Amino acid sequence: MRVVVHTDDADTWCQALARRLPDAEVVTSEAAGDAPADYLAVWKPPASLFEGQSRLKGIVNLGAGVDALLHNPGLPRGVPIVKLRDAGMAPLMADYVRFGVLYFQRDFDRYFAQQTHGTWREQPLIDKADWPIGVLGLGAIGAHVARALAEDGFPVHGWSRSAKSLDGVTCHHGEAGLSELLAGVRTLVTLLPDTDSTRGIVNAGTLSRLPEGATLINPGRGSLIDEAALLDALGPGDKEGRLRGALLDAFTEEPLPRDNPLWAHPRVRITPHMAAPTPVRDAADQVAELIRALDAGEDVETIDPGAGY
């Protein structure tokens, strides 16, 4: 069995997978040359990687988001695609979202703004119980984040396309459920996959349904956000608009171009798609299990390219 790995830290992944798949040849895409692979373990591969893959049995996406892979023009048809289903990313994502929620709920955004003017003024404390949070997307990672916030004492509302049930979380679904959620939350967290139905879901209409002074955290997919509508909702730099602020980790174009106006907006905080990096040690176990299962012909949950997840 030949496994070819393509990702930023390919050498580390190769070492980890070689220990877990001792009977396999595990090599980086650079070392692979023109020899075909049985399995590819990849993150945002170039289209050229798929050229000449005459015996490919499966592709493992080294992350939870598959949009970059599914949009790859070289992606072969009919080859099973599997992805990581958390593998240690959920706790990291929960930490990132916790930071964002507390940043606004405890008024750190306003304290940092006061510091630039030398202003010493304590903001009135708002209890967690009075800070409802909406989580769009209740997959493995979204569900973990929603439950973690609920355990922290926040009222949490979750939204998904179809009905779901989570302990401690008020669940909504469908268009009516989305409207109901938006009307009552102070922080909106977006953890949806990139699909035709979710692309641009945070738009002028969505933002107008949020309460005045609401906040946005997007550690999910950049395609979920209409950036022009977000900037309009934030208002000019010297005056708060309908939206109080945003913490953004994912963007339609990455790296985010230096001339993008989000960089300069005083009520936007930007991080470079680092909210939940894939922990190699935990994830390598799952990748090895997926490859073994595919090779043995076992039933494995695969990606539906038409649905986008």
Q: Do domains 2-87+278-295 and 89-270 have the same CATH topology?
A: yes
Determine which one of 172, 221, 244, 269 is catalytic.
221
CB 171 within 8 A of CB 164: yes
CB 166 within 8 A of CB 158: yes
Q: Tell me, what amino acid is at 222?
A: G
Residue 306, pLDDT above cutoff 80: yes
Question: What residue segments make up the domains of the chain, in order of their start?
Answer: 2-87+278-295, 89-270
Give yes or no: 221 in active site. yes
Write down the architecture of domain 89-270 according to CATH.
Answer: 3-Layer(aba) Sandwich (3.40)
Give, for 291, the enclosing helix (H) or strand (E).
helix 280-295
Percentage, residues of the chain above pLDDT 70: 100
pLDDT tens for each residue of 112-159? 999 999 999 999 999 999 999 999 999 999 999 999 999 999 999 999
Q: Tell me, what amino acid is at 153?
A: G
* Residue entry with tokens 């964002």: 100
Determine which one of 20, 98, 267, 273 is catalytic.
273
CATH number of 2-87+278-295: 3.40.50.720
